[in-house]
Structure 1
Amino acid sequence: MNLVDMLGSSPAEATPEAICARRGCRQAAVVRLLWNNPRIHTPERRKVWLACPEHAPWLSAYLSERELLRSTEEMAP
Structure 2
Amino acid sequence: MNESAAGDEPLICSAKGCREPAAWVLAWNNPKLHTPERRKTWLACGAHREHLGQFLGVRGFLKDVVPLEEWRRAEERS
Fold conserved between structures, TM > 0.5 = yes
Which of 56, 60, 74 is equivalent to 1:63? 56
Give matches, 1:1-77, under 5 Å.
Answer: 14-15=6-7, 16-76=9-69
SS in 1 for 2:69: coil
| Uncovered stretches (5+) of structure 1, i.e. residues with no partner | 1-12
Which residue pairs with 1:9 in the alignment? none
Q: Distance in 2 between matches of 1:63 and 1:73?
A: 14
Let me know the Cα RMSD of the aligned residues: 1.6
Identity of aligned residues (%): 43
Aligned residues: 65
Deviation (angstroms), 1:17: 1.5
Offset at residue 65 of structure 1 (A): 0.3
Name the CA distance, whole Å, in 1 between partners of 2:25 and 2:13: 9
TM-score (norm 1): 0.80
CA distance in 2, matches of 1:18, 1:43: 26
1:58 corresponds to which letter in structure 2? H
Q: Which amino acid aligns with 1:62?
A: F
TM-score normalised by length of structure 2 = 0.79
Larger Rg: 1
